[in-house]
Amino acid sequence: MKDMKILRRAEVMERIGVSNITLWRWIQAKKFPAPLELGANTIGWLESDIDDWITSRVRRIYEKGIRKKWSGQARTKPPQ
């Protein structure tokens, strides 16, 4: 079985570069994976779920040409 790592909220926020409020809004809007309940007052995310989400966002940006607005040119294919 692949090594699994749980990321806590602060680690997730640092990885994706958003505030706590934005993170919770995205979760409520189902734009971001819901956390796992690890205990009565503890939550976390599988690192692989966060990595997959980041990859999907990058692919979406390149596929829709959104990057073109920011960089002046779009890449023809997403990074591998």
Domain ranges of the chain: 6-71
Q: In the structure encoding, which two tokens stand for residue 77, read together?
A: 């294919």
Residue 14 has what pLDDT? 97
pLDDT value at position 3?
79
Instruction: Give me the pLDDT at residue 79, please.
Output: 56
What residues in the chain have per-residue pLDDT under 70? Answer: 1-2, 66-80
State the pLDDT at residue 67. 57
Find the length of the chain.
80
* CATH architecture of the domain with residue range 6-71: Orthogonal Bundle (1.10)
Give percent helix, percent strand, percent coil of the chain, each to the nearest 5.
50, 15, 35
Q: Which residue from 76, 71, 63, 43 is spatially nearest to 32, judged by alpha carbons?
A: 43
pLDDT value for 61? 79
